[in-house]
């Protein structure tokens, strides 16, 4: 089956993207490309709601378990890998399907992101020795657009934005305006669920994760992950790490996982709602096959 566009199945966490995308791939002889920024890590299976081994066996999956959680996998690498996957899949006369909820990753494909210069060790040391409040003020003076979208405590992104400005003489917001999307036609399909029902599903899924062994999975990761890294800060693990440190009880950690996941889903939905190019599908009103039919009809 041939399409001029590459479908992207997106949506907030816990809306059933895996089930719909697998059903779609079976119907159109497709292969799935992961666009979840945490499912790329090995050993982070339960907490990231990664497709199970059985689900992955049903249709080919790409960009899952591609690096260890101690490694850095950035959006530049993601764009390169997706481009390569699309070419390989299409060379086999299969249909590539992008699946995931990481808004930055989706944006990197469809709008483009600035692939900046490499890290400068001397600048990084200087930033490490400077109070975060001072760094935020410095960034605001040269790039208020970026500070408006960053949290004042986001040291990683604040220092990276300052680093880019000092190395290139141009703000990261200016560079991002000049970024280019990948050279493909994409069509976005967003899975939507009433917020109250979505939150209920999130709470139930977290309880299931705990039953499946999330705490033990986090215990394995805790000694090897460095605080502040993307893998360490993943929802579902960082809360348990706080429990291991004795800061909160296990019950409190689980409650925080639910709360933080609900907050994350709300941010995802807010981000996606700004995108008028998304075709929304109510997953409560449609079974997976119905969602597939809507996608196919829209792409026809």
Query: What is the band of 1 on the pLDDT scale with cuts at 50, 70, 90?
Result: low
CA 185 – CA 84 distance, rounded (Å): 16
Q: Which long-range contacts (CB under 8 A, 24 or more apart) does 231-234 make?
A: 231/38, 231/41, 231/44, 231/69, 231/70, 234/38, 234/44, 234/47, 234/48
Tell me, yes or no, if the two domains 6-112+180-299 and 121-177 fold the same way.
no
Correct CATH for 121-177 of 3.40.50.300, 1.10.20.140, 1.10.3720.10, 2.20.25.90: 1.10.20.140
Do residues 189 and 9 touch, judged by C-beta distance below 8 A? yes
> Can you give the pLDDT at residue 130?
95
Do residues 14 and 269 touch, judged by C-beta distance below 8 A? no
Per-residue pLDDT tens for 171-181?
988 887 767 89
Statement: residue 167 has pLDDT above 80: yes
Statement: residue 65 has pLDDT above 70: yes
Walk across the sheet containing 61-62 and list its strands.
61-62, 30-34, 95-99, 6-11, 186-192, 279-282
Decide which of 143 and 75 is more confident: 143
**Cβ atoms within 10 A of the Cβ of 256, count?**
19
**What does the domain layout of the chain look like in residue ranges?**
6-112+180-299, 121-177
Per-residue pLDDT tens for 26-59?
999 999 999 999 999 999 999 999 999 999 999 9
Mean residue pLDDT of the chain comes to: 94
User: Residue 182: CB partners within 8 Å, gap ≥ 6?
Assistant: 79, 82, 83, 86, 109, 110, 112
Per-residue pLDDT tens for 109-122?
998 877 678 889 89
Name the residue among 111, 109, 103 with its Cα closest to residue 7. Answer: 109
DSSP 195: H
Per-residue pLDDT tens for 98-107?
999 799 899 9
Do residues 132 and 152 touch, judged by C-beta distance below 8 A? yes
Q: Give percent of the chain above pLDDT 90.
A: 85
Statement: residue 3 has pLDDT above 90: no
Q: Can you tell me which residue has the tokens 């997106």?
A: 10
Architecture of 6-112+180-299 per CATH?
3-Layer(aba) Sandwich (3.40)
Statement: residue 300 has pLDDT above 90: no
Query: What is the band of 261 on the pLDDT scale with cuts at 50, 70, 90?
Result: very high
Per-residue pLDDT tens for 199-247?
999 999 999 999 999 999 999 999 999 998 999 999 999 999 999 999 9
What are the residues facing 280 on neighbouring strands?
190
């Amino acid at each position: 089956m041939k399409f001029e566009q590459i479908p992207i199945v997106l949506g907030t966490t816990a809306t059933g993207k895996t089930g719909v995308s697998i059903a779609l791939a079976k119907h159109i002889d497709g292969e799935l490309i992961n666009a979840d920024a945490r499912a790329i890590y090995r050993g982070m299976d339960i907490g990231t709601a990664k497709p199970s081994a059985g689900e992955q066996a049903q249709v080919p999956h790409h960009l899952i378990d591609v690096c260890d959680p101690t490694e850095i996998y950035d959006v530049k690498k993601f764009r390169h890998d997706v481009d390569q996957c699309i070419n390989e899949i299409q060379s086999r006369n299969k249909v590539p399907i992008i699946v995931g909820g990481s808004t930055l990753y989706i944006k990197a494909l469809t709008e483009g992101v600035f692939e900046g210069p490499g890290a400068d060790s001397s600048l990084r040391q200087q930033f490490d020795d400077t109070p975060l409040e001072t760094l935020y003020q410095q960034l605001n003076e040269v790039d208020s657009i970026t500070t408006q979208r960053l949290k004042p405590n986001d040291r990683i992104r604040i220092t990276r934005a300052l680093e880019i400005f000092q190395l290139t003489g141009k703000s990261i917001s200016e560079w991002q305006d000049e970024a280019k999307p990948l050279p493909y036609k994409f069509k976005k399909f967003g899975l939507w669920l009433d917020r109250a029902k979505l939150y209920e599903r999130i709470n139930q899924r977290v309880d299931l994760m705990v039953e499946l062994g999330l705490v033990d999975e986090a215990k394995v990761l805790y000694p090897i992950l460095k605080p502040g890294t993307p893998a360490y800060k993943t929802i579902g693990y960082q809360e348990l790490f706080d429990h291991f440190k004795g800061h909160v009880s296990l019950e409190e950690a689980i409650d925080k996982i639910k709360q933080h996941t609900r907050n994350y889903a709300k941010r995802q939905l807010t981000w996606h709602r700004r995108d008028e190019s998304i075709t929304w599908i109510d997953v409560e009103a449609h079974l997976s096959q119905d969602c597939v039919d809507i996608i196919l009809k829209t792409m026809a």
